[in-house]
Chain A
Amino acid sequence: MVRPVETTYDESNFQVTVTENLSSALELDKVESHLHPEGSFDLADHAVPTGREEIWRFTPLKRLRGLHADAPLGGSFFSADLTVPEGVEAAVVDSADAGRGVSGLVPWDRIAARTWDAAARTLTVRIPKELVADQPVYVDVKGTATSADDEATASHVVITAEPFSQATVVLRFTGSMTLADNVEIVVGDGAQLTVVSIDDWADDAVHVGHRHVRVGRDASFKHVDVTFGGSVVRHDTTAEYAGAGGSVDMLGLYFADAGQHIEHRLFVDHTAPNTKSNVVYKGALQGEGARTVWIGNVLIRKVAEGIETYEENRNLVLTDGCQADSVPNLEIETGEIAGAGHASATGRFDDNQLFYLRSRGVSEKEARRLVVHGFFNDLIRHINVPELEESLFATVEAELAKNVLAEA
């Protein structure tokens, strides 16, 4: 039995629950945690959500074009381009032959389960053992739908970085379509893998993505999730550890414009000792109805002694009429941890920062621009993919031009 002994504090939205497992030796793997939904491959186990469920309550179901219900998923309104460096293997294969499930993914909501069933073909990317790829792998998906009625697409991706390999994989989404995808990522022992996902959709795209990552012993995984475009983008990302000493960085950058809904749901499941997780998501919102949601769940299991975790979400609200929700959750089942920290803040421009810059002669517009660039700067530098840095700064600049820099 897991018995809550203490609920330490509730600071703004932050919830920490410390529980003590009284008979841990017998039940190492069983966790009664609301952070750990039971997955199932059987669609019958996933009822059509009403919108009142905890995991759906922030999402505008009406705008999902039926992905969460029964809309057909057989569309193929897209083109995909692969750029693959020497030594890396990429192929589109029959889903039955793709080794799906290697990451431990068991669909944990209805869309993931439907996507699993519907995706006939799977993109596999394999970085062979000990290979150090000198260039990123690019997967460019370009939506070609011309109407919201064009049938949605289901896709499945399996990325495997074999032991001691090093690589960066960039998934880029542009154009327009309705996409539901499951991405599985396996990081072998001692491997170092970066996966960058850039949602730079046209304004009317809908993308519901599930990512499941299994991180090997002493492996490092960095996930960079950049979201600029789309009407509704919801990413649900789970990382777990297959062995001790693994480390996960999850960095996110998003910019929501008028009417856009951008939702990130993260779950780091510390399933092994001496593992690390560092989650930093930063977002800006501008325009009427811009909406962002960030759910940062971290579970530290009984076995996960000596782990370190930190999670942070900051939102910069640039205009009236925006809403940012930020909900970090930390659930700790062992007292033997090396460190657990968090920060969550949502705010407007800081008057004192703007005043300081302007008192040096910098115009208001330029001061705002500096502050926003500064806000994202550290994060972009931490992505550490030089090929992308410049284009990310340029995209931030283009977003700013829509609003902050648009007025006189």
Chain B
Amino acid sequence: MSTLEIKDLHVSVDTEDGAKEILKGVTLTIKDGETHAIMGPNGSGKSTLAYSIAGHPKYTITSGTVTIDGEDVLEMSVDERAKAGLFLAMQYPVEVPGVSVANFLRTAKTALDGEAPKLRTWVKDVNGALEQMNLDPAFSQRSVNEGFSGGEKKRHEIAQMDLLDPKVALLDEIDSGLDIDALKVVSEGINRFKERDGKGVLLITHYTRILRYVKPDFVHVFVNGKIAEEGGPELADQLEAEGYDKYVKAAV
């Protein structure tokens, strides 16, 4: 069981000229086993939605609620949200010099489980997860994301999702910067995750390309800090043909 419920979420960021509202009332529920795609033009607030749910300090929630299985997410610290089952794959994963992937993953797993993973199976699990993402096991000895190519960073995010096994995964433009082979590898990783029991996925993307490999149950068109239209997978095909123009115009 896992339900992520977002109700009338308003979010602003601090700018030199004061607070600027980015999210203007977002309502969205992701239930057990559902995959939702959010599509929208640049600057519409997609990343803001993902970061706000995960608790990035840059964003201020001005009103609305976010709950996971009924628990108030907005009251939780960033790491508590992860422990509650949230995972954010970032559009631009952060480099952490001097901290090895192996150390990072072990520390995260230990924090999530409340105990250190069994050494022997864990090393195997890590190597397996990397391999499935076409990442050499040598990656576990490299510093987190440092010197990784754009595509390697994205595959590393999916390997983490696989290992840390959240309830709900927020994937922010996981498809950007991937060539077609990497896109397939990443999509397979997401599909394997979806097949596990009761997992929710929020797939944020700019293009319909990835939706050919990862089938969404729902598609939301995101424009100017709001959901402008909702539908099934067919909505993605329509966006592919027509673009965002009509929604952008309507939003002005």
- Measured CB to CB, the residues of A under 8 A from B are 350-353, 355-364, 366-367, 370-371, 373-378
Contact = CB atoms under 8 A, between A and B. Distances in A.
Main secondary structure of the interface of A (DSSP, over half): helix
Q: Shortest 5 CB-CB distances between A and B: which pairs?
A: A374-B98, A377-B98, A361-B82, A360-B108, A358-B78
Contacts of A353: 94-96
Interface of B: 54-58, 77-79, 81-83, 86-88, 90, 93-99, 103-104, 107-108, 111-112, 143-144, 160, 164
A351 B57 contact: yes
Contacts of B93: 356
Contact of A374 (B79, B82, B97, B112): B97
A351 B55 CA distance: 12
Contacts, number: 86
A367 B103 CA distance: 12
B72 to A, nearest CB: 18
A368 to B, nearest CB: 12
B112 A361 contact: yes
Contact of A355 (B57, B97, B107): B57
Main secondary structure of the interface of B (DSSP, over half): mixed
A362 to B, nearest CB: 5
A363 B55 CA distance: 13
Contacts of A362: 79, 107-108, 111
Contact of B58 (A351, A360, A373): A351
Give the one of A350, A359, A362, A377 with max B CB within 10 A. Answer: A359
A139 B96 CA distance: 36
A221 to B, nearest CB: 25
Contacts of B104: 357, 360, 370
Contacts of B107: 357, 362, 366, 370
A376 B57 contact: no
Nearest to A381: B98
Contacts of B112: 360-361
Give the one of B103, B111, B160 with max A CB within 10 A. Answer: B111
A363 B112 CA distance: 10
A359 B97 contact: no
Contact of A358 (B77, B90, B97, B99): B77
A374 B96 contact: yes
Nearest to A352: B94
A54 to B, nearest CB: 33
